[in-house]
């Protein structure tokens, strides 16, 4: 049974990534969208995984929101990413980048303050 690369990569995380995030990472790594994960090299899969860690690293905490109109209602969950979580994502990504000789990301938070 074939497993799409998107499902494989999403399965590595508790977070489900948006189609836009996933497509951007796949294109960056030269991986065809919806390709079978068994046809993607281990190196490409691991580097895509590192890129997804960076997506999480760059995600900001936000409160949930609720929108309703008539009988219809949609609620989104809040996202809370702490400083320790961010550091863990950065460290995990850098470990993979270093393994394959790619530039290690040395800056701290998105505002580049390096305050943990």
Structure confidence by residue, pLDDT tens digits, 17-55: 999 999 999 999 999 999 999 999 999 999 999 999 999
Considering the domain boundaries, does residue 59 fall inside one? Answer: yes
Of 60, 59, 45, residue with least CA distance to 100:
45
Residues whose CB falls within 8 Å of the CB of residue 23, separated by 6 or more in sequence, listed in order: 33
Query: Is residue 26 one of the residues assigned to a domain?
Result: yes
Query: 89 near 116, Cβ under 8 Å?
Result: no
58: left (phi over 0), alpha (psi -120 to 50) or beta: alpha
Structural domain that includes position 57: 5-99
* 29 belongs to a structural domain: yes
Confidence of residue 112 (pLDDT cuts 50, 70, 90): very low
pLDDT over threshold 70, residue 109: no
d(CA 16, CA 59): 13
Percent of the chain with pLDDT over 90: 58
109 belongs to a structural domain: no
Helix axes 83-99, 42-57, angle to 10 degrees: 160
Say which range, 47-56, 69-78, 99-108, has the weakest mean pLDDT. Answer: 69-78
Task: Say how many C-beta atoms besides its own lie within 10 A of residue 88's C-beta.
Answer: 14
The angle, 0 to 180 degrees and rounded to 10, between the axes of the packed helices 19-28 and 42-57 is: 130
Note whether residue 17 is domain-resident. yes
Examine residue 113 and state whether it is found in any structural domain, yes or no.
no
Q: Is residue 115 part of a domain?
A: no
Domain count for the chain, please give it. Answer: 1
Q: Assess if residue 92 is contained within a domain.
A: yes
The overall pTM is greater than 0.95: no
């Amino acid at each position: 049974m074939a497993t799409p690369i998107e499902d494989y990569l999403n399965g590595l995380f508790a977070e489900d990534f948006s189609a836009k995030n996933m497509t951007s990472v796949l294109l960056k790594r030269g991986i065809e969208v919806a390709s079978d994960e068994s046809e993607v090299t281990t190196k490409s899969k691991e580097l895509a995984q590192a890129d997804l860690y960076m997506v999480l690293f760059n995600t900001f905490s936000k409160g949930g929101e609720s929108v309703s109109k008539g009988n219809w209602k949609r609620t989104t969950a809040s996202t809370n990413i702490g400083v320790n979580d961010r550091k863990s994502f950065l460290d995990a990504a850098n470990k993979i980048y270093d393994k394959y000789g790619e530039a290690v990301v040395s800056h701290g938070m998105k505002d580049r303050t390096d305050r943990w």
